Structure 1
């Protein structure tokens, strides 16, 4: 009958609690868990990844204090990828270690080992890496003695590095190992050491003292356990920790029952119920009421047990109105839903950004590829165009060679006709030397000035053999010109020398003069070819139609070559033809860029 009443009563109570949560939301303050959850929500809405990760960790710490290790692990795992993306090694290591600790508290040993090993690998600090490695080894080893050795090593490292929270946790773990080994004295000592390094955390100290009380109680040293618990209650009152005061009073009541001190236990439970009622702690009040009702039921006082239930129901509305923990649970639940929604929105946004970035990368890559292809095509076309121009230049240059060869053969023929074998032989020797030199440079667009001067001299010597009585020549080169370094266009001067001799000087009745001068003017090489032949105008009168066509083609050849050289090699080549300085003869002036290297 009593058990059925108990079940029905609490089946009715639980929905009322849920309704009360909604109705009291605005009247209750937020606890640390819901507050931290709200902060997570705010950072998510501001799209601040690092701040969000930090708030995830803070929320996980609060959940750890509440004993909700699964949720704490979940939020730590949400923070970890953000730190990994930012490559924050310190936070990656500390968060991974926290995940391992939550997994260990849930007895997920294999997962905890992997997490500790990962934290060890990520840690920048050698000592911190060793601590995590020790914890992984500790979980892999079942021997309490070996586990204690790993914990001792960790404690030393952590205390030296000032990580007192982790050191306190290591002392607690060592106390648990001692209890497994039935070494309760050492367990108490390690709890006391944990208290010493946790002195700045009063609530943690109270929990550690409660653990010491449990050790004494397990040894049946109830008086010592009661003494410690009483002190703990007094300290809880001093720091204003209602939750610890209620918890320790319930523990003390259990100790009183074990010590056959039922009257003190009942009084203490009633005080605990009233304290919970006053501070709106519904579940603590329920726990105290159940302990009392169980006691009365065991004593056969069913009426008193039912009276306690009635009292609880009468106080229920008042407790619900004042119970912030119930409201906090609902607020946290609602906030968690918002967090999940914001995370989904962020994930969707990140996915869209990733897709957009991929599209942009593909587009940019395609544009770059197209530009490269266009560049290669343009380069190929430019190269082909340049090669065509070079071929055209060589073709034009080679046009001059047959003409020169035919003139030379005519000269040889003339010497043979005159039975002047000695002169013919001498002419052929000079001709062969000149041709050899010209053939060696026939594939070059530019040759050194020294080489060009040598060719000019050989050519003029050759022509002088034929027209000894018609002209003499003079070549003058400015001493400032470095003839070996300066480059000039190949076979561009020779046609003008040929014109001066064949169309000017050879028609003179007396011996004429041909003067070739090389100087520098305005950073250009100036070549002056001056003769005192019959002159341009008179020469035109004497020419046949065939000669006019030939000379026109020769000048066109020179002009085309100059245009190609200027285009291909960015030169400043030009020439002018005018009457001589005394009004007779012809003056040809050529200008070349002062070039020492052709690209």
Structure 2
């Protein structure tokens, strides 16, 4: 127990040391003078006049001796640029002297075909595409550059649709190789747009699957099955369907399609495919829990792989060993991995398997794990030590980290705490180193994706430019030919069409003008008719007021009222023939009218008229007597029936330089209550004033394009009424 306590104390201390070292590294932002040099990788000669910059910061150049100095911080990224070599990026990890080795750019990398003949250019197109395929796996940028060169316009040569299809297919293959499946999909579609091909459709379906567009992948594969396919293409399509269904965990459908592919492969003796499909069916059965059936298929794939070549056998043994591991058959797993190590050693560096597990360090690590699962710790230790040594030599920090941690755990479990502590300390150091490496890889991956996207855009612009030039050329040629062959006929037809068109336009314009004039005249007549109805209605209501004063034997009030009324009538008659009058005149007319109504109903309401000083009353115009009926309605149907004294408020407010808002608000009994108080005779009579106003506004808005907008709303609890009128200047 004491030993375990000591061990855990040591482990905790190491965790604190690791956290402190990472915190110190992250917080250390001190600027220092970084010195270094740039040399040719082949000759080690210094390179002068190299552009050296920190992304988003300092800039300098190398001197005649290739030396430079620049202010930097830990974590800064230096960029070294020159037309003499390929751009190099370097992350600052410490303040030690930096030596940057660069690869000279070779002129022969990209050929210049500007002076080549058409036949030579066509041949060189194939050279470019072959070069792109050659660099496909090793140098994505160079590979894409060759595709770009193949599509660039050249003297007396433009790539055919077939050639463009091949170029975009190659571009899609490059994207797939470097994990850019979304770009691959776009490029395969471009390829198919130039020429339909079963082969490219199969590649597109596979790209859909890798990009997790599973339904699109399945749909395209099933569509391909309805086409006439070669035997090998049938194998590819069924295998692709099996792969896609496996990715979405539909094991039964996956096995069914793999089996169909296997049947065609056996029928046509496609040996590599038979091996692959046995392995994939075995993996699918293992995943679904049918271990016995899976083992049979794995044994088949292992036997078949041995007949092909050592590299294929090594890859298959690794897959079968993983299967044994899942089924806890560790002895069989260890035996297969031992054989894999021996065969990998005999292959040397000639084999470059795609599976990252096919490395000595990873195989040794997995053998050690199999021994640990059997609690054979002493047997596991030598394999972990080999794994660490191999990983260190190959700079495989991931395996080195896992193996070092596992070794520390084994030493802990067998009670060798000193060795456990030492191993754990190494593990902490590897984690730190791996953290820095991952940061660099993320930065490089982002930069790589950006550069690839830029090159992709360059190709897209080339294609668009080529299409535009072709369209222009064809259009110009067709126009010239048409002019030369049909010149006289074309002129006669065009002249006739112009004459007919002018006649039709003139007739349409005349008709439109007549209709518009007739409509305008009708509107004017309607407005005049409404105005003629308006004035008698107003005069009749006013005379009723005079009559009420006389009936009450109030001659003085009647005389005063008639005096004010005569001024109002003069204004009304002066404006009766006008469609619009200045707002100033309408306000004067309204003030006279409200004054008269207040004179009669002093005990029923008070009033106020507020006019915004910003309003230019001369520039705004309004139909005469537009506001009076709303005020009359407020007084006669709202305020005069109110038991206590009410209030009438009229506000003229500028909304903007082109619009004013007029609000007429009363706190009378409200519209609903007013209706209830009407006599049967009043209910039978139609309201002439309000009806006329609505018709006038409708006609004016039709003539002058929505100049006036009116909204009537009840007050709170159904009492009072507010009329809001929006008036536009033009």
Question: How does the TM-score come out when normalised to structure 2?
Answer: 0.42
Higher relative contact order (CA 8 A, sep 6+): 1
Question: How does the TM-score come out when normalised to structure 1?
Answer: 0.50
Structure with bigger helix share is 1
Structure with bigger strand share is 2
Larger radius of gyration: 1
